[in-house]
Amino acid sequence: MVAFNDYGNFDALGLAELVRRRQIAPAELVEAAVARAERVNPRLNAIVTPLYDDARRAAAAFADRPAPLAGVPFLVKDLDADMAGVPAMSGSRFLAGQRADHDSTLVARLRGAGLIPIGRTATPELGLLPVTEPEASGPTRNPWNPERTAGGSSGGSAAAVAAGIVPAAHGNDGGGSLRIPSSCCGVFGLKPSRGRTPAGPDRAQLWNGYALGGVITRSVRDSAALLDAISGPEPTSPYWAPPPARAFLDEVGAPPGRLRIALAKRPQVTNAPLHPDCAAAVDDAARLLAGLGHDVEEADPALDPEAFARDFFTLICVETAAFLARASERVGRRPRRGEIESATAVTAVLGRQRSALEAALARERLEAVGRSMADLFTRYDLMLTPSLATPPPALGAVKPSGLEAFGQELLLRLHLGVLLRIPGIVDASVRRVFSFIPYSPLANVTGLPAMSVPLAWNTDGLPVGTQLVGRLGDEATLFRLAAQLEEARPWRDRRPPIHADGDVTLRDAGAAPPRAPAPAITGGRVSGTAR
């Protein structure tokens, strides 16, 4: 079958419209997506479980139905999104060979929207790290520079979307895992409000409610349409986000009004330095927002970044220990040496060492942070921050290496896990991870919706995202503003050097986007921003 040559020029809604008008068949779209995956995935390692034949069978059995995204190829992350009969490894050698016997609620809703999964995307082991470099399948590379990280933990999905394999892909976010790779790969990623999307049917919530499913897209309207498709409670939901006033897709293109925006550049998780490129990008975004008529002023949340990091890490450790305990029950034994990565094992040991009292107090302190954020949002509609503290780092830069990795492995090998409680033993690893992502976990802890918007590229041709955080349940304002930014500074047609439409010259791919002309809106201002 001849590949659909114009595939890369359409977003998911555009492809669905072609199917609806019978201008193309789902089977043609699937073949185009498979051909594109085979062209670039060997260079990126974004797809770890191809489902090409399953997708062909689904396309062949396709029947016209009123589904918003009927016939569109899609990718599903290999974490917290079970697919019946499909391997569910969560990036771990320990879970190799495990297969789900039913779809998760979120996957069922994606299928119900008419999407056709063509594969599963890479994730770091158990989704723990903000880079996608699992030992089980190897690193996922950034299509803007294959020596750089694609971010994590939804790095495979972000790389696949940026490289034009699919226009949209599933991901999830427990500490920034949709927004981090979106920033690294120059695409759009929105984490919904807590309780907006389902975690079932096997779990009521993930990571104390900090983690939830979402999507990574090229276009804002695709993100809105997909959130419409997957959002809403299920019978096992312990709570749910306030229902929207109307469909999220209807918010795209609606006037956002004149918004009050807090510019917060001080790191919120550990006291990390801010790279000049990220500082310049967020200041540029502040000026752009002011030019669009919004009021922007510097205002940081009142919190202790170091205490926040300790408490958040405590709960990550506890959740990791619990995950491995559940996995051991499913597999029927505990992991053998080499079946899980040292960093994962260390995190789980620390989790087993934490008492119930320590975990409860950490959770209470983090809940207090959420209450403090409520005060900021009485004065502002949104908070503007860098998405990350640095541009995408080199592969391997965030993971333990050298003597640090050797020391952790030695402690595990000698069963000296008690020494991990000594201050400083794992501090370097924790600080290195949070120094890369000091802005994203706050939205997870507070449950607030947040998005990374691809507004800037640095002189090395690497994307530098900007984050906007909204009030609980107010994804509508984020979508309205994101669409305004997308129109003012379009990013959808930018192509990285590694792209399914063919290699793009580094000059064309990496040049900074042109400045949008100042719109005919007056009254916006930026207060206290570096010029």
Query: Where residue 486 sits, what CATH number does that domain have?
Result: 3.90.1300.10
CA–CA gap between residue 104 and residue 204 (Å, rounded):
12
Predicted confidence (pLDDT) per residue in 192-243, tens digit: 999 999 999 999 999 989 999 999 999 999 999 999 999 999 999 999 999 9
Q: What are phi and psi of 296, to 5 degrees?
A: -120, 130
Confidence of residue 421 (pLDDT cuts 50, 70, 90): low
- Of the candidates 153, 154, 387, 429, the residue annotated as catalytic is 153
Confidence of residue 431 (pLDDT cuts 50, 70, 90): confident
Q: Is the pLDDT of residue 531 over 80?
A: no
pLDDT at 272: 87
**In DSSP terms, which residues pair with 263 in a beta bridge?**
298, 384
Asked whether residue 248 is assigned to any structural domain, the reply reads yes
pLDDT at 106: 98
Predicted confidence (pLDDT) per residue in 389-406, tens digit: 999 999 999 876 654 554
- Of the candidates 77, 191, 265, 399, the residue annotated as catalytic is 77
Q: Is the pLDDT of residue 424 over 60?
A: no
Confidence of residue 409 (pLDDT cuts 50, 70, 90): low
Confidence of residue 43 (pLDDT cuts 50, 70, 90): very high
pLDDT at 289: 98
CA–CA gap between residue 345 and residue 350 (Å, rounded):
9
Predicted confidence (pLDDT) per residue in 257-307, tens digit: 999 999 999 999 988 899 999 999 999 999 999 999 999 999 999 999 999
CA–CA gap between residue 227 and residue 195 (Å, rounded):
12
State yes or no: is 177 an active-site residue: yes
Q: Is the pLDDT of residue 516 over 60?
A: no
Q: Is the pLDDT of residue 427 over 80?
A: no
Confidence of residue 408 (pLDDT cuts 50, 70, 90): low
Asked whether residue 90 is assigned to any structural domain, the reply reads yes
Q: Are the C-beta atoms of residues 313 and 269 closer than 8 Å to each other? A: no
Predicted confidence (pLDDT) per residue in 151-186, tens digit: 999 999 999 999 999 999 999 999 999 999 999 999
Exposed e or buried b per residue across 114-132, where buried means at least 16 C-beta atoms within 10 angstroms of its C-beta: bbbbbbbbbbbbbbbbbbb
End-to-end CA separation in angstroms for the chain: 55
pLDDT at 405: 57
State yes or no: is 399 an active-site residue: no
- Of the candidates 92, 104, 157, 177, the residue annotated as catalytic is 177
Asked whether residue 2 is assigned to any structural domain, the reply reads no
* Closest by CA position to 302, among listed 369, 379, 386: 369
pLDDT at 512: 40
Asked whether residue 223 is assigned to any structural domain, the reply reads yes
Amino acid at the residue 140: T
Task: Name the CA dihedral angle for 503, 505, 506, 508, rounded to a multiple of 10 degrees.
Answer: -120
pLDDT at 380: 98
**Token couple for 237:** 């939901």
Give the side-chain half-sphere CA count within 13 A for 161: 36
Enter the pTM of the model: 0.93
Beta strand extents in 444-519 (DSSP E only): 450-457, 463-470
Q: What is the mean pLDDT of the chain?
A: 90
Q: Is the pLDDT of residue 509 over 70?
A: no
Confidence of residue 150 (pLDDT cuts 50, 70, 90): very high
Q: Is the pLDDT of residue 250 over 60?
A: yes
Phi/psi region, residue 97 (left: phi>0; alpha: psi -120 to 50; beta: rest), is left
Contacts of 414 (CB under 8 A, 6+ apart): none
Asked whether residue 103 is assigned to any structural domain, the reply reads yes
Asked whether residue 335 is assigned to any structural domain, the reply reads no
Predicted confidence (pLDDT) per residue in 448-478, tens digit: 999 999 999 999 999 999 999 999 999 999 9
Task: Name the CA dihedral angle for 25, 28, 34, 36, rounded to a multiple of 10 degrees.
Answer: -110
Give the side-chain half-sphere CA count within 13 A for 183: 36
State yes or no: is 153 an active-site residue: yes
Domain count, the chain: 1
Confidence of residue 4 (pLDDT cuts 50, 70, 90): confident
Range of the domain at 90: 7-304+368-396+426-527
Task: Name the CA dihedral angle for 339, 344, 345, 350, rounded to a multiple of 10 degrees.
Answer: -160
Predicted confidence (pLDDT) per residue in 351-377, tens digit: 998 899 999 999 999 999 999 898 899
**Sign, CA torsion 337/339/342/346:** negative
Q: Is the pLDDT of residue 5 over 90?
A: no
Q: Is the pLDDT of residue 248 over 60?
A: yes
**In DSSP terms, which residues pair with 297 in a beta bridge?**
262, 527
pLDDT at 505: 39
Task: Reduce the DSSP state of residue 420 to 3 states and report it.
Answer: helix
Q: Is the pLDDT of residue 511 over 70?
A: no
Share of the chain above pLDDT 70, in %: 89
Contacts of 200 (CB under 8 A, 6+ apart): 104, 105, 234, 235, 236, 237
146: part of which helix (H) or strand (E)?
strand 145-149
CA–CA gap between residue 517 and residue 267 (Å, rounded):
31
More reliable by pLDDT, 510 or 337: 337
Pairing mode, if any, of strands 260-263 and 382-386?
A: parallel
CA–CA gap between residue 192 and residue 306 (Å, rounded):
26
pLDDT at 201: 96
**Sign, CA torsion 100/105/106/109:** positive
